[in-house]
Amino acid sequence: MVKTNGSRIVNGNDRANDHMITLNIHLPHDNVVHSMQFDVQMLISDICHNIQQHLLITIDHELSEYGLFINDTQHTLRSYWLDPSKTLIYYAL
């Protein structure tokens, strides 16, 4: 999980089945990418919490300063932050 100040969590498009999606979690301060699977019906806020717990990320700021970011490297205007009150299935990933 990363801060919203320009860092990001990048989505993956590898679906294990119709209810799961694999997200590639980019942690810029560690310069690593972790792949994690989530149910598409989960809230974005719950996914952020699970990422924090699973990767043992130390958060020194408010959780609201962290989130999921879709980074379209080919079309930067298509990059955007995911709303924490929405589910993954809400987005066309």
Q: What is the DSSP letter of 42?
A: S
- Write down the architecture of domain 2-90 according to CATH: Roll (3.10)
Domain-by-domain residue ranges, the chain?
A: 2-90
CB atoms within 10 A of CB 17: 8
Q: Report how far residue 23's alpha carbon sits from residue 13's, in angstroms, rounded to the nearest whole number.
A: 7
The model's pLDDT over 49-75, given as tens digits with 9 standing for 90+, comes to 898 888 876 656 666 677 898 888 888
Tell me, rounded to whole angstroms, the distance of Cα 29 from its chain centroid.
16
**pLDDT for 15:** 41
Query: Percentage of the chain with pLDDT > 70?
Result: 72
Asked whether the whole model's pTM tops 0.85, one would answer no
The model's pLDDT over 10-26, given as tens digits with 9 standing for 90+, comes to 444 444 456 899 999 88
Residue found under tokens 């009150």: 85
